[in-house]
Structure 1
Amino acid sequence: MMYGVFFVLLWTFAHAAISLDLEEKFHQLHENYIQFKDKVLAELKEKDQQYKALTAKVNQLEIKLQQQESLTMATQSEPSAGHNSTKVLRQATVKVPTSCLDVYINGQTTNMATPLSGIYLIMGPKFVETVFCDFTKLITDPSSQRWIGYADIKSAPIYFYVQRNTPFTATNIPIPFQIERVNIGGAMDLPSGKFTAPRDGTYFFSFAGLAQFPNSTSKVHLKIALYFNGAYVGTSECAETNTAGHSSTLTLQLTLNLQKGVQVWLQIWAITAGVSLWDSRYNHTHFTGWILQEEIANSLL
């Protein structure tokens, strides 16, 4: 009986010793794992920092290379050697920016601090555009320039509003005007009735008038057309039958893309005898227009 008890006690102590040994080994393995993980994470962090530093250096070198190429080309194309070289290089390279790269190079060329990432204006194919430049990325990375929208910039204000105060019946000639309410930019010539576009761009025009009809049992009408460099682009007509000497209104609105120098005017296209584009001191005839959007790129040529 005593041998049995002794054996049980011996087995219990041995089992406890083995358990303690295994627990200690497990604890040691856990500690080793934590140390190894921390070491690996530290090395990865260090490598990541090194990668970012190298990427920034490559970015700077690439920008300087592109800048140097621009400066070299500008120097080679400069005919005079008697000017101050720094001034010549700046004049040759500082230009209206057409990209975030130009924004960066212009800043470097004029000895300004490296531009910060942000919103900038650049010259697009026709209009000034708003973009976001991310200078934390490689300047050649397409994602470093993000388009936002167009900037409504005009080199000069252009708008007019003119009127008549007498009847008009002549056909095949521009309708002249007598009263100038507004003519900013001087593009509207009242005696000739012609508007001459001073800039490339998109323009809006609006006309309103009053047709005076005589007593008639047959159909009478008045048709007004807007002409664009000699060809009509839109008409407005009012017609009546069995009239008793009353009047009728007519209107016309158009939006046109015009190049600099193109002329726009109104004229009577068709009119029945006895009918007139009526006007008096109350000014029933109105012609107005303005530039909606200028193709600003052409204004800088």
Structure 2
Amino acid sequence: MACFSLVFYGVILVFLWSILSTSNALSLEKEIEELKQQYELYNLKCKTKKKKQDKVIRMLEAKVEELEDKLSGLESKFYGEINPRLRRNSDAAFRQGTRIPTSCLDLRANGHISSGLYIVMGIQLIETVFCDFSKQSFDSSR
């Protein structure tokens, strides 16, 4: 009888162990399957985001290229317009610099800052005049 009860308890123990191990194995398989599904979903989301980012990058690269072209066009237009003006202005400045001054005001406008005797063009003759640049304003006379 003791042998029968030991065998009975052994059979019950093996039966319970098989049930518990089967349920654990099923729950592990279920968890693994859920993890696989989550991984596939995450992988799909990552691929979708990567495609969107690549599209945005291509758009931005195209925009940068367009803006660089526009900038070079504007630069060439700017330098094309400004160079003739500079040449005209420099010619005028050159002519202005070669003209004989007619008063102390002209001398000051030409950049003279030291008071002293200067040669200016009078009404009919070249005259020597004293210009006092220490004063704030000038007489209209030479």
Instruction: Please report the TM-score for the alignment, with normalisation by the length of structure 2.
Output: 0.52
Question: How much has 1:72 moved relative to structure 2?
Answer: 1.7
Which residue number corresponds to residue 9 of structure 1?
15
Gaps of 5+ in 2: 1-6, 86-142
- Two-structure CA RMSD over aligned residues (Å): 1.5
2:78 matches 1:72: yes
Question: How much has 1:77 moved relative to structure 2?
Answer: 4.2
Question: How much has 1:11 moved relative to structure 2?
Answer: 0.9
Question: How much has 1:78 moved relative to structure 2?
Answer: 5.2
- Match among 60, 65, 81 for residue 54 of structure 1: 60
Which residue number corresponds to residue 33 of structure 1?
39
Aligned residues: 79
Q: Which amino acid in 2 is paired with 1:24?
A: K
Instruction: Please report the TM-score for the alignment, with normalisation by the length of structure 1.
Output: 0.25
2:30 matches 1:24: yes
Counting helix residues as a fraction of each chain, which structure ranks higher? 2
Question: How much has 1:47 moved relative to structure 2?
Answer: 1.2
Q: How does 1:237-248 map to 2 (within 5 A)?
A: none
2:48 matches 1:42: yes
Counting strand residues as a fraction of each chain, which structure ranks higher? 1
Q: SS of the residue aligned with 2:78?
A: helix
Cα distance in 2, alignment partners of residues 21 and 62 from structure 1:
60
Q: Which amino acid in 1 is paired with 2:57?
A: Y
Cα distance in 2, alignment partners of residues 72 and 5 from structure 1:
98
Cα distance in 2, alignment partners of residues 77 and 4 from structure 1:
106
Gaps of 5+ in 1: 80-301
**Greater RCO, CA 8 A, separation 6+:** 1
Q: Tell which structure's C-alpha radius of gyration is larger.
A: 2
Cα distance in 1, alignment partners of residues 20 and 81 from structure 2:
90
